[in-house]
Amino acid sequence: MVLRRQHVLEHLAHPCEYLRAAHRALHDGGLLVVEVPDCSSAGFRVLGARSFTFDYPHHLLFFTPDSLRCVVERCGFQVVGVSRFSFEYSPYTTLQNLLNLLPGRPCRLYRALMRNSEGRALRRSPWTWMHGVLALLLAGPAFALSLCPLVVPPGNTLRFYCRKQQR
């Protein structure tokens, strides 16, 4: 049995409770795939609170490879594989981090894409349209940069493949 849970742990005040529930749900030898933003990434180290991976107050916890390994091992899992790239998250995170180098409130493009009142208001702003044009120009380079962790870590996403240890 394989349980895949991506980008959940950073939103939880008590991730061990969640991981222990996953541990109970898996058969011995079962696999849990955990994916979280990598707070040891260059984007996080350079941009800090302006990094797309920061996202406080939605992200309550900030994981590095060592801290994530410690948490999953404490909850009865053995890390059997690690990836630093997610096709779903890494390219956009890199793109948004490049745009976050611009002055103003960070994550403007991301917030403008939301289907809420803030997103609707941001979509009417010329600054947001400038971010959109820059995003189109930077999409190729951002994608290429996001592929670097396939060769040289760290990336902006951590994916751990965790095997339930047999009791």
CA distance 129 to 100: 15
Position 85 scores a pLDDT of: 86
Residue 130 has pLDDT above 90, yes or no: yes
Q: Convert 50-106 into a string of H (helix), E (strand) and C (coil).
A: HCCCCCCCCCCCCCCHHHHHHHHHHCCEEEEEEECCCCCCHHHHHHHHHHCCCCCCC
With a cut of 80, say whether residue 150 has pLDDT above it: no
pLDDT category of residue 119 using cuts at 50, 70 and 90 = very high
Mean pLDDT lowest among 28-37, 67-76, 84-93, 146-155: 146-155
Residue 64 banded pLDDT, cuts 50, 70, 90 = very high
Name all domains of the chain by residue range, CATH numbers in brackets: 2-164 (3.40.50)
Question: Do 112 and 122 contact (CB within 8 A), yes or no?
Answer: yes
The percent of residues in the chain predicted with pLDDT above 90, rounded, is 77
Is the model's pLDDT at 51 over the cut of 80?
A: yes
Q: What is the pLDDT of residue 67?
A: 97
What's the pLDDT band for 145 if we cut at 50, 70, 90? Answer: confident
Q: Residue 2: is its pLDDT beyond 80? A: no
Q: How far apart are CA 23 and CA 3, in angstroms?
A: 10
Compute the chain's Rg from CA coordinates: 17
- The reported pTM is 0.85
The answer to whether residues 56 and 115 touch, using CB atoms and an 8 Å cutoff, is: no
Taking each helix axis from N to C end, the angle separating 126-147 and 90-99, rounded to the nearest 10 degrees, works out to: 130
Among 54, 80, 57, which Cα is nearest to 69's? Answer: 80
Beta-bridge mates of residue 164: 77
pLDDT of residue 3: 62
